[in-house]
Amino acid sequence: MAETLKKRNEVPEELKWDTSRIYKTNEDCMEALHECTKISFEIEEKYKGKLTNGKAINDCLAEYEKFLILVDYVSNYTSLNVSVDFTDAELQRIDSIATNEYMEAFSRLSFIESEISDAPKEVLEQALETATIAKNYLKDILRAKPHRQSAETEAALVALNEVFRAPYRMYEQTKLADMKFPDFEVKGEKHPLGYSLFEDNYEYEKDTDVRRAAFTAFSSKLRDYMYTTAAEYGATVRTEKILSKLGKYDSVFDYLLFDQKVTRGMYDRQIDLIMEKLAPHMRKYARLLKKANGLDKMTYADLKIALDPEYDPKVTIEESKKYILDGLSIMGADYQDMLKEAYEKRWIDFAQNVGKSTGGFCASPYRKGSFILLSWNERMSDVFTLAHELGHAGHFKACGDAQNYYNNNVSTYVVEAPSTINELLMAEYLKETNKDDKRFRRWVLSAQIANTYYHNFVTHLLEAAYQREVYKLVDQGEAVPAEKLNEIFRGVLEKFWGEDVELTEGCELTWMRQPHYYMGLYSYCYSASLTIATQVMKRIRSLGAPAVEDWKKTLAAGSTVDPIEFAKMAGVDITTDAALIDTIEYIGGIIDEIESLMD
């Protein structure tokens, strides 16, 4: 049973990531912050009102890149430190000071994009022709030109960026600092409860009474903050609608999809096809879970349990290293070196402590390695999570090594492909190394469904389906109070799970748990990326080394390609339904094989 969480200062250093790889001390970070401000004044004095020819534009962008890299380091350093302990007021103070100062600098430099966008056509053509590092950046400015405001308005919008981010900050504070969960009791025994304890432990708990009681207690506390969270989320979506109107977009969807460089059709296809064609397969999986666990009924609180609860291999952090290195060996020697460095140089925050962000993520400051957050519970599922986040690390190492800072970002539509393919490669490795053990094979197959595909094709996809309905209302100028959000989320669950899953009271509050809603249209990108990853994995299994090399070149492409070109480089066509339908059939095939191995 899970123990009461430790405070951050009680956690051993070896379980924490090492942010000194960015800056040794807070003082060093503040010094870099002041350097950012200094550079911004120098650029303003040297170039404002003078971006009248291609040379001036490119010289300015070369200096601006140095500023952007410094901000990347400062913002990551302060926000990463906060993310592992939202109860530390001093870390919050430093992060707030840093954010305010570099956002002022961004506002000061907003003239760069405005002047470039307003420059005569011949000047822009000259800048593009002679650009050495910022060609794609210039193309993006031109692409956004129809949606730009006046220079004064753009500067004001940049200055207000921290205000626009405030609802997300308040959401994180509400969730990670304000919510205090009381113990809950089952058969006379008390159990501690917290956000990460519930999401990382109790959702997977073998004891049905404890698991369901934990869900009830957790939901009860969520409900106490329902109106606050709805207000925070409502402020976010209303802000996005206002910004879409200011930018002269046809809808809030067009505004949010613009930077992803995908069409509304690609977005809708992902949601509609999965809701229709994957639902029958997942209902079958729910029935298998019920049968395997001998449940009286299948409830929403039971969906995360193991298919074989008595067969749940425990894995220490040290043991995970061999799994990771062996399972991802197909990626080659350079990739192996990166994986070893992640363990040796403390890229990973394994700790469980009070105030730490839930879930997992990977932040990758430019050419500084990565910072991976997760909470280690000694489950094999943690190995899959770690492989996933190391996929992000490998992606941005490849981008960083091959590209300048301007070309280092990628569309969120594909950003989860390098992470989810690592989970698939791990599963293939485990199946290969235990060919004759049918129980182990069934366990690996069920782990693929319960972890990789459930997380990306179900959890996040249902969020995306809910999110789409919210934005439809926002686009029409309607309000989205807490009761409406509950109604929408429950409706999505009913549509997907049908009569095979009893929707436990509190299921409708699941919308309160996900930070992705504060990141635009991000949730659907998980299934979009995993569609690409599944097809690439199948290609690697079929073609071997040539497919691996294609994939590694794709990883290094950064933002020099859009999502369709990214997939094409890796040998996948995402311009039609075919790749998604094939992936759904692949998931169905796994579930069918699980059923055949049930005995």
pLDDT per residue as tens digits for the range 404-446: 999 998 999 999 999 999 999 999 999 998 788 899 899 999 9
The per-residue pLDDT for 313 is 80
Distance CA 237, CA 230 (A): 11
Residue 445 covered by a domain: no
Q: Are 538 and 387 in contact (CB under 8 A)?
A: no
Give the domain CATH number at 79: 1.20.140.70
The per-residue pLDDT for 348 is 98
Residue 292 covered by a domain: no
Residue 221 covered by a domain: no
Count up the domains in the chain and report the number.
1
Instruction: Give the ranges where 278-379 is alpha helix by DSSP (H).
Output: 279-293, 317-327, 333-344
Percent helix / strand / coil, the chain, rounded to 5: 70, 5, 25
Residue 567 covered by a domain: no
Query: Which residues have C-beta within 8 Å of that of residue 2, sequence separation ≥ 6?
Result: 191, 192, 197, 201, 202
Residue 346 covered by a domain: no
Positive/negative CA dihedral, 113, 119, 123, 124: positive
Q: What one-character-per-residue DSSP string does 377-428 give? A: -SBHHHHHHHHHHHHHHHHHHHHHHHS-GGG----TTTTTHHHHHHHHHHHH
The per-residue pLDDT for 395 is 98
Distance CA 376, CA 382 (A): 6
Distance CA 146, CA 117 (A): 9
Which candidate, 393, 428, 388, places its Cα nearest to that of 538?
A: 428
Tens-binned pLDDT, residue by residue, of the chain (599 aa): 445 789 999 999 999 999 999 999 999 999 999 999 999 999 999 999 999 999 999 999 999 999 999 999 999 999 999 999 999 999 999 999 999 999 999 999 999 999 999 999 899 999 999 999 999 999 999 999 899 888 888 888 888 888 898 999 899 889 988 899 999 999 999 999 988 889 988 999 999 999 999 999 999 999 999 999 999 999 999 999 999 999 999 999 999 999 999 999 999 999 999 999 999 999 999 999 999 999 999 999 999 999 988 887 889 999 999 999 999 999 999 999 999 999 999 999 999 999 998 878 999 999 999 999 999 989 888 999 999 999 999 999 999 999 999 999 899 999 999 999 999 999 999 999 878 889 989 999 998 999 899 989 999 999 999 999 999 999 999 999 999 999 999 999 999 999 999 999 999 999 999 888 899 999 999 999 999 999 999 999 999 999 999 999 999 999 999 999 999 999 999 999 999 999 999 999 999 999 999 86
467 by Cβ neighbours in 10 Å (0-12 / 13-18 / 19+) ranks as buried
Could you identify the residue written with the tokens 């390695």? 369
Distance CA 385, CA 459 (A): 15
Residue 132 covered by a domain: yes
Could you identify the residue written with the tokens 């307003």? 118
The per-residue pLDDT for 1 is 40
Owning domain of residue 90:
8-159
The per-residue pLDDT for 3 is 54
The per-residue pLDDT for 379 is 85
**DSSP label of 311:** -
Distance CA 27, CA 351 (A): 25
Residue 112 covered by a domain: yes
Q: Are 65 and 133 in contact (CB under 8 A)?
A: yes
Residue 211 covered by a domain: no
Distance CA 254, CA 248 (A): 10
